[in-house]
Structure 1
Amino acid sequence: MPGLSLITIPGLSPQKAENSFALLKHLPKFNIEQIISAKNIAAAFCGYNGYPRLSFDEPDRFILIEGLIYNITDDLIKSRLFDIADKFRRNDTYPDAVRQFMHDADGDYLVLIYLKQDNRLLFFNDRWGRLPVYYSLSDQMLALSREVKFVLEWVPSIQYDVQALAEFLTLEYILGDKTFFKNIHRLGPASALTVNINDAFIKTEIFNNIVPVSFKHNDTGLSRSGAAGRYLDLFRQSLTWRHDKLREKELSIVADLSGGYDTRAVFAGLCEMKADFTACTDKLITGDETGTARRLAGLYEKDIHIMSAAHPVDDITEMTRILYITDGLVNGLIDTSCYYDDLERENKLPGPFANFKGMGGEFIRWVYMPKKGYHHLADAIIDDGYNHYMKMSDACPLLSLKKSELHDSLVLDIDRYDETDPVAQTRHLFFDYNNKTVNSGEDRNRLFCWTVAPMWGNHLFSFAAEMIPPGYIDYDFFALFLKLLSPQSLNIPMYGSGVRFDSALSRIMFRNRMKIKRTVRDNRYLFKAGQWIRGKAGPRRYIETEHARLAGEIRKLYDNCETVKSHFDPGCLDRYLNGRPDRLHLYQLLTLILYMNEVERRYRQKLILQR
């Protein structure tokens, strides 16, 4: 993954550091530049033409900003970060300065401040943790990187976290700061590290939730239309800041357009501001939405490029390569196909460009509520209340994991949330899903170009998380926002649902359908009854030849991979594969096993196997 990687360790070998940085060159266009080379510390930046960074190299300090801050000029960024560096050197209220910077800066960024004479580091990310960062630390080492692979190169041993494996197979993502590995963690949003480096040890302090992530509603007395109007103002501001900064950086703009909701808002917003941009739509492996996209683009008299990429999902070697590059965090079917969609866009369009994506609108249209009948959110999760893939009752025996142990781990993760209110906790869980799985897809796109998600703007998203009453949030609220933004954006039905938000009758029928769906979803007993009925009906997507191929690959990997053998129960695996599971569930299992096999191939001597 493009971006920053850093290692600090007493007696660091410069040659070993250089060799580890060379492993970051996943694509020919990547350039690896060593930006810090000093006693006991080395850092490198992996980038390409169009991947944004800003740095200041002074005799006493080195400051790097990866990514973009859209609402502050580069000169003011420099001034504020130099002020933070001075306060950090004096240990003088620098946490307050960092907190204020996170609050003010709207962007997707990481900041590294290195004090050369003191051999000290300050590192922090943005308000919502938009650029994933992974680290492993001890009193003898800190390895930090935009990708897990670099950290794996430096840890003395590798041991899987079985609870994390179970969460990936069921929920689709991993809660908290966990990764697949016990000694590697993901840095949370609005977090900072300070590092003191000397010849004997490394002293690292981590400060989490500097600007707390909170989904507890603050009642401001806003009406429904007032909330939609304020959201619109902040959306336009977010879009304008991003457009103007990218023009300043001489990056052209490409905007995705699918048949759904969020890309429609971004596309319409760019059209309304008369922006110069290229519109694109993809023939996705999950469904061809290009017809809807073409019709919508036609309403705005906008040409649209249709991308039709090959999707070599039958090529296990290629899928493994892509999964390893992306740290195995996304279902292999989706990861491989979207990788080739992104590659097609890069090949067909002149660069460098920034790709505007439609992500983040889920938080103003999708009512993510706690299920009635459960004492704790973890009780609902362990009872398959929020699964995307495998059932907990399948995943736990498969991994020889007691369900009670997984439940206790879930309780610990949920109890770390700042919120205690069940509605706010459930919305935070939805944020975790989007900030892990969805964000991983967005980050994969950064292999090819800089990705921009205007609906994740700092102030816009903070308003959506904290100021819009949960009772307002539904598809009608999103339609109201679209109507205020650009009324003609509602004239084409949404792909898949057939709903026309410009038709009162269609809107009422859709609203009633969604109310019934929510009533069933948010009640423990109705939800479980629905699960039972769906189970009796059998898997929705079952293709005999595809199932046989996937199951055969999984069995072959089990037979040849010691890591897989040590973590998966063979009898449970056989029963699961013979039970005709859904194809996406099978791909999720294959994803994990392919990734474990590749880690073993590279780091067999470091692995601690479960017995």
Structure 2
Amino acid sequence: MPGISLIYNNNGLPREAEEITTIINNLNILDHHSSQIFKCEQNFFMGWNKYEEYPIQIIDHNHFTIIIEGKIYNKDNEKLKTEIIELADGISQNNYSIKISDWLKNTDGDFIIYIINDNNIYILNDIFGRLPLYYSISENGIILSRYLRFIKDINKDFAFNRIAISQFLLLGYMLGKHTILENVYHLRPGSLIKIESSKVNVEVIHEFNFEYKKYRERNFEENINNLSNLFSEAAINRLQGAAKNIVAMSGGLDSRAIAACLNKHNSPFIAVTMKYKTGYTEEEVVVAEQVAALLNLDWKLLDVVPPNGDDIYKLLKIKEGMNSLYMAGIIPFYKEIQKSFGNNINFFTGDNGDKLIFTIDRPITNFKNVDELVEYIISEHAIIPIDEVVALTKTKKTELFNDLKELVLSFPENDLKQKYIHFRIHEKPFKYAYQGEDRHRNYFWSVSPFWSIQFFNYIMNCSDESKIRHKTFRRLLQSYSPEVTDLNYTNIKSSITSFKGKFSLFVIYYIYPRIPVLIKRKLKSTFFEGNPSTSEDSTIFKCIKDIVNNSKMIKEYFKVENSSDLRRYRKKAIYNILTMLSIIEELGEGKSTLSKYLNEEFH
């Protein structure tokens, strides 16, 4: 990923300066990326990889050097500089955590801030942890980077995290602080790293608690009006600092809301929709074109070829196993956007906005205890059954279960239903959706107004009941354009305002969740688990077979006796398996079987 890498070691840098320079230069995965060394001293190194438009800002002050990676949308530079200097001065005081927490709750942005003076270093990320950042602490200091590979290459001694691998196969992402590497951690949202007097301390400054709903009793239409204004402010604030604003528009509701909002405020942007030459996105294209016509938008349809091995391998290199190779189909879309508009753009997406606005469309069970909640999460979210995951990865089921249980217990809510909402609305996006959005940022800056802290705080303080079956989303979208609200929503093949649409939502979100678990599992197995179109001689199976047969390290972490047996899984599950196999081979053995298939289509 573009971004900053840092080493602090009170015994001196663990590698020679020339070797560190080589390591950081090797992180320039894409042609338009380059590296820069900011400081390389006896016990401190700081540098970054970026393209010209990737935002890294340096602010010099009498006592501090402030480096901001990313963007803050609701504050100008002078105000921001003043506030950060005040924060830096106050960190040594006893009540600094309250001040920083308050500042985070009022700061809308996707950022990591570095505050450096002669003696101390402070690192603060935004309240959602929108830019994934990894770190490894030793008794002598810390290595920190947006790249797992940087930490691995500096440390050299490493092992893979078996629990994290198992979680990725189970859910499609790793939980909590886990990364693919043992003892290398994903910095939690709203955290402060303090490096003072050769000591390193990591502290979570802010944790969301969704138990209390401040606006539960407020009039529904008043809430909609306030949400509409906050979303508008967030969207308009994100138009800054780029030559063009591009809205990725599908047939869904999230991108439609962004387009309708910006259009209502006469904000300039171009809407783009991708069309695979295989034709399977045709339905999305039809609806996107209807939205564009209704709003009279500048709309571009970009023809996209299916991903080949080169796209798969690029995704592996840029996301290092933290994003499934199943998502490689979007890489050709990035290339077409670059070709059409360049890199100097704000790329608007509605990523995960739906989860935010209808948090309890699926009724939540009255859990008797935390164990029931953990079992529910696994049953609802598992991509591969947990018993089969532990067989594949040679882990213990109790280890996986207890790790998830420990995470859920760490959430501050007492009510188990609200703990589930915490998992779904905060934990899962942090570990899954933000990794996807960060994938965009390898090519151009990506934004989503759904993750404005002001909008987020307001909607999470509205009652859960007001969001059932798209009620809030429907009214929010209508506040910008009743006409586009009436267009079909491709997920249900009808409008969310129509009788058919409302009935479909009722069946999907009310009837289906009430079907007994064993019957639901049978339905999933019958209709979703198989891959009849994926043959044993397909590229993905040839690749998996090659890795399993030729990698010594894979045998330490995986037990795959016959790769053909994997055909019983859904395509997403197979790609998740390929992701873990490939990153273990790439990082662990310095080779990649994927590189043998660069010109082949994956299907």
| TM-score, normalized by the shorter chain, greater than 0.5 | yes
Equivalent of 1:259, from 229, 251, 257?
251
How far residue 377 of structure 1 moved from its aligned partner, in angstroms, is 5.4
Question: Structure 1 residues 347, 467: closer, same or farther in 2, change over 3 A?
Answer: same
User: In the alignment, is the contact (CA less than 8 A) between 1:370 and 1:422 conserved in 2?
Assistant: no
1:607 alignment counterpart = none
Question: Structure 1 residues 207, 342: closer, same or farther in 2, change over 3 A?
Answer: same
Amino acid at match of 1:196: E
Amino acid at match of 1:543: S
Deviation sequence 1:16-52 (CA, Å, 0-9, x none): 3322221221122223222233330011122222222
Alignment of 1:181-330 (within 5 A): 181-196=181-196, 202-208=198-204, 210-220=205-215, 221-243=217-239, 246=240, 249-283=241-275, 287-288=281-282, 289-313=284-308, 315=309, 318-330=311-323
Deviation sequence 1:361-415 (CA, Å, 0-9, x none): 3211242554456632565447841234211121011111221221112211111
1:591 alignment counterpart = 579
2:483 alignment counterpart = 488
Q: Any idea what SS the aligned residue of 2:405 has?
A: helix
Greater mean alpha carbon deviation, residues 552-561 or residues 438-447: 552-561
How far residue 584 of structure 1 moved from its aligned partner, in angstroms, is 1.9
Deviation sequence 1:89-144 (CA, Å, 0-9, x none): x556443432232122111111000012x2x1000011111111111111123111
Q: Any idea what SS the aligned residue of 1:308 has?
A: strand
2:22 alignment counterpart = 19
2:533 alignment counterpart = 543
Amino acid at match of 2:405: V
Question: Structure 1 residues 546, 439: closer, same or farther in 2, change over 3 A?
Answer: farther
Deviation sequence 1:453-486 (CA, Å, 0-9, x none): 0111011112222334345343122111111222
1:339 alignment counterpart = 331
How far residue 350 of structure 1 moved from its aligned partner, in angstroms, is 4.1
- Provide the rounded CA distance (Å) in 1 between the counterparts of 2:526 and 2:202: 49
Amino acid at match of 1:263: S
Amino acid at match of 1:364: I
User: In the alignment, is the contact (CA less than 8 A) between 1:370 and 1:377 conserved in 2?
Assistant: no
- Provide the rounded CA distance (Å) in 2 between the counterparts of 1:57 and 1:384: 49
Q: Any idea what SS the aligned residue of 1:265 has?
A: helix
User: In the alignment, is the contact (CA less than 8 A) between 1:31 and 1:47 conserved in 2?
Assistant: yes
2:70 alignment counterpart = 67
1:569 alignment counterpart = 559
Amino acid at match of 1:130: R
Amino acid at match of 2:558: F
**Structure 1, gaps ≥5 residues long:** 605-611
User: In the alignment, is the contact (CA less than 8 A) between 1:32 and 1:47 conserved in 2?
Assistant: yes
User: In the alignment, is the contact (CA less than 8 A) between 1:60 and 1:115 conserved in 2?
Assistant: yes
- Provide the rounded CA distance (Å) in 2 between the counterparts of 1:223 and 1:560: 63
Q: Any idea what SS the aligned residue of 2:74 has?
A: coil
Question: Structure 1 residues 193, 351: closer, same or farther in 2, change over 3 A?
Answer: closer
1:111 alignment counterpart = 113
How far residue 601 of structure 1 moved from its aligned partner, in angstroms, is 2.5
Question: Structure 1 residues 394, 98: closer, same or farther in 2, change over 3 A?
Answer: same
- Provide the rounded CA distance (Å) in 2 between the counterparts of 1:374 and 1:156: 46
Equivalent of 1:394, from 388, 401, 424?
388
Q: Any idea what SS the aligned residue of 2:247 has?
A: strand
- Provide the rounded CA distance (Å) in 1 between the counterparts of 2:367 and 2:115: 49
Equivalent of 1:423, from 407, 411, 417?
417
1:555 alignment counterpart = 545
1:97 alignment counterpart = 99
How far residue 442 of structure 1 moved from its aligned partner, in angstroms, is 0.7
Equivalent of 1:520, from 512, 526, 538?
512
Equivalent of 1:405, from 399, 405, 422?
399
1:30 alignment counterpart = 33
- Provide the rounded CA distance (Å) in 2 between the counterparts of 1:566 and 1:477: 49
- Provide the rounded CA distance (Å) in 2 between the counterparts of 1:346 and 1:460: 30
2:439 alignment counterpart = 444
TM-score (norm 1): 0.89
Aligned length in residues: 582
RMSD of aligned C-alpha atoms? 2.4
Deviation sequence 1:46-83 (CA, Å, 0-9, x none): 22222222211346421101111111110011111122
How far residue 174 of structure 1 moved from its aligned partner, in angstroms, is 1.2
2:81 alignment counterpart = 78
User: In the alignment, is the contact (CA less than 8 A) between 2:213 and 2:460 conserved in 1?
Assistant: no
TM-score (norm 2): 0.91
- Provide the rounded CA distance (Å) in 2 between the counterparts of 1:537 and 1:299: 36
- Provide the rounded CA distance (Å) in 1 between the counterparts of 2:70 and 2:85: 18
1:608 alignment counterpart = none
User: In the alignment, is the contact (CA less than 8 A) between 1:194 and 1:205 conserved in 2?
Assistant: yes
Question: Structure 1 residues 58, 226: closer, same or farther in 2, change over 3 A?
Answer: closer
Q: Any idea what SS the aligned residue of 2:549 has?
A: helix
2:467 alignment counterpart = 472
**Structure 2, gaps ≥5 residues long:** 593-603
User: In the alignment, is the contact (CA less than 8 A) between 1:227 and 1:468 conserved in 2?
Assistant: no
Q: Any idea what SS the aligned residue of 1:443 has?
A: helix
Q: Any idea what SS the aligned residue of 1:439 has?
A: helix
User: In the alignment, is the contact (CA less than 8 A) between 1:379 and 1:407 conserved in 2?
Assistant: no
Greater mean alpha carbon deviation, residues 340-349 or residues 369-378: 369-378
How far residue 240 of structure 1 moved from its aligned partner, in angstroms, is 2.2
Q: Does 1:460 align with 2:455?
A: yes
Deviation sequence 1:174-194 (CA, Å, 0-9, x none): 111111222110011110100
How far residue 444 of structure 1 moved from its aligned partner, in angstroms, is 0.7
Q: Any idea what SS the aligned residue of 2:380 has?
A: coil
Question: Structure 1 residues 298, 138: closer, same or farther in 2, change over 3 A?
Answer: same
Question: Structure 1 residues 266, 466: closer, same or farther in 2, change over 3 A?
Answer: same
Question: Structure 1 residues 541, 492: closer, same or farther in 2, change over 3 A?
Answer: farther
User: In the alignment, is the contact (CA less than 8 A) between 1:561 and 1:600 conserved in 2?
Assistant: no
1:152 alignment counterpart = 152
2:358 alignment counterpart = 365
Question: Structure 1 residues 79, 42: closer, same or farther in 2, change over 3 A?
Answer: same
Deviation sequence 1:408-437 (CA, Å, 0-9, x none): 122111111122211211112112222222
Q: Any idea what SS the aligned residue of 2:381 has?
A: coil
User: In the alignment, is the contact (CA less than 8 A) between 1:122 and 1:194 conserved in 2?
Assistant: yes
Q: Any idea what SS the aligned residue of 2:326 has?
A: helix
Question: Structure 1 residues 100, 35: closer, same or farther in 2, change over 3 A?
Answer: farther
Question: Structure 1 residues 603, 59: closer, same or farther in 2, change over 3 A?
Answer: farther
User: In the alignment, is the contact (CA less than 8 A) between 1:63 and 1:112 conserved in 2?
Assistant: yes
